[in-house]
């Protein structure tokens, strides 16, 4: 395959799938991008330069990988579908700066991989047309993983993109919104219509750019903070008090501890978690932790 011919365009994508006797697999969220303008936009939004080491999630037949490989120093792409990995051996054969790894991204130890595959102090960017069925677990994994990244540019369902910057007190405001807020600032970079894909998804899509931020309130253990946040949102219609008692225990000593932490954090026990900001939940975590 010549370097000058793009892998992606509506007829070429289908021809490659036919050549290998493949169909897009729903169970792996396979919706292949066939619009080269969208692919170029994604690479531009991520601002990929020859200094960058890129992690791609789900390369598929290599349409986005190829565009990344033309600009980046190295691309490390994780693909779950063995049949796609075989296609990629051919479609990306000319790009010696691409390494495809046949693995479920949710099972990858990214910091370990980065230290094995990238130079120390590498400028790391993450780019993907995400499999929509696991957008939230992937974003959660990426953000909680302990490595430095410059930006994350990902295509996702528009409805999920809206949750990232959801207003406090709305139905869309929740654990995902707070996870994003703790680690990053999210910008909706562009919308993408369903006919940019083969097969066309039944939902609207959007490209989102995340840039890292310092958290509004630093805590000593981010995982524990998010355990508390998940417990607080466990039953959205229940009060914070009821959710906390359910999580921590109904005995008098535990109840007194929760009560004094709420008082210290100046939070009304009757409120619902969806009315609380990240800063308030962080202060609650700090107060609860101090009581232990
Ligand atoms: C929406 S398609 C994107 C394909 C290609 N990047 C494109 O833009 O045309 C999602 C890709 O992610 C792969 N995938 C799905 N689940 C995965 C997982 N858990 N780990 C790694 N790759 C996964 C699918 O097989 C598919 O190739």
For 10-212, CATH number?
Answer: 3.40.50.150
Q: What confidence score (pLDDT) does residue 2 get? A: 45
Q: pLDDT by residue (tens digit) across 166-188? A: 999 999 999 999 999 999 999 99
What is the reported pTM? 0.95
**Is 3.50.50.60 the CATH classification of the domain at 222-290?**
no
Regarding beta strands 151-157 and 123-129, do their DSSP bridges make them parallel or antiparallel, or are they unpaired?
parallel
Contact residues for 106 (Cβ-Cβ < 8 A; gap 6+)? 134, 137, 138, 141
Q: What confidence score (pLDDT) does residue 9 get? A: 87
State which of 58, 65, 160 you would mutate to test the pocket of ligand 1, scoring each by most atoms of that ligand within 8 A of its C-beta: 58
Judge if the beta carbon of residue 62 lies within 6 A of ligand 1. no
Judge if the beta carbon of residue 28 lies within 6 A of ligand 1. yes
Q: What confidence score (pLDDT) does residue 1 get? A: 47
- Nearest residue (CA) to ligand 1, atom 13: 58
CA distance 281 to 292: 17
Which residues of the chain does CATH 1.10.8.100 include?
222-290
Q: pLDDT by residue (tens digit) across 101-137? A: 999 999 999 999 999 999 999 999 999 999 999 999 9
Q: What is the mean pLDDT of residues 49-56?
A: 98
Which residues of the chain does CATH 3.40.50.150 include?
10-212
Q: Sorting pLDDT into bands at 50, 70 and 90, what band is 290? A: confident
Q: Over the Cα atoms of the chain, what is R_g?
A: 22
Neighbours of 179 (CB within 10 A): 21
Cα of 139 vs centre of ligand 1, distance in Å, is 14
Please give the annotated binding residues for S-adenosyl-L-methionine, written as ranges: 31, 33, 58, 79, 104, 129
- Nearest residue (CA) to ligand 1, atom 9: 32
Q: What confidence score (pLDDT) does residue 4 get? A: 62
Query: Greatest CA separation found in the chain?
Result: 72
Q: Write down the ipTM of this complex.
A: 0.99
Q: What is the mean pLDDT of residues 214-236?
A: 97
Burial of 264 (0-12, 13-18, 19+ CB in 10 A): middle
Q: What angle do CA 78, 84, 88 make, to 5 degrees?
A: 80
Q: What confidence score (pLDDT) does residue 292 get? A: 57
Q: What confidence score (pLDDT) does residue 8 get? A: 85
Regarding beta strands 98-102 and 74-79, do their DSSP bridges make them parallel or antiparallel, or are they unpaired?
parallel
């Amino acid at each position: 395959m010549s370097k000058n011919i793009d892998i992606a365009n509506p007829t070429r994508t289908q021809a490659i799938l036919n050549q290998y006797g493949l169909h897009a697999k729903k169970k792996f969220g396979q919706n292949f991008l066939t619009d080269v303008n969208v692919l170029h936009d994604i690479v531009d939004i991520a601002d990929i330069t020859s200094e960058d080491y890129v992690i791609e999630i789900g390369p598929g037949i290599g349409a986005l990988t190829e565009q990344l490989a033309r600009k980046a120093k190295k691309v490390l792409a994780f693909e779950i579908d063995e049949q796609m990995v075989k296609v990629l051996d051919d479609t990306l054969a000319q790009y010696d700066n691409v390494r495809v790894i046949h693995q479920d991204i949710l099972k990858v130890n990214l910091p370990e991989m980065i230290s094995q595959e990238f130079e120390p102090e590498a400028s790391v960017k993450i780019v993907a047309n995400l499999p929509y069925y696991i957008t939230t677990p992937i974003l959660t994994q990426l953000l909680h993983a302990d490595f430095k990244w410059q930006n994350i540019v990902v295509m996702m369902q528009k409805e999920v993109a809206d949750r990232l910057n959801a207003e406090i007190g709305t139905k869309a405001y929740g654990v995902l919104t707070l996870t994003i807020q703790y680690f990053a600032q999210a910008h909706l970079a562009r919308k993408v219509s369903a006919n940019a894909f083969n097969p066309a998804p039944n939902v609207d899509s959007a490209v989102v750019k995340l840039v890292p931020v310092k958290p509004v309130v630093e805590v000593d253990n981010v995982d524990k903070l998010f355990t508390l946040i998940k417990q607080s949102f466990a039953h959205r219609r229940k009060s914070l008090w009821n959710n906390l008692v359910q999580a921590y225990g109904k005995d008098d000593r535990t109840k007194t501890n929760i009560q004094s932490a709420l008082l210290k954090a100046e939070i009304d026990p009757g409120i619902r978690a969806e009315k609380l900001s990240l800063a308030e939940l962080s202060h609650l975590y700090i107060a609860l932790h101090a009581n232990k």
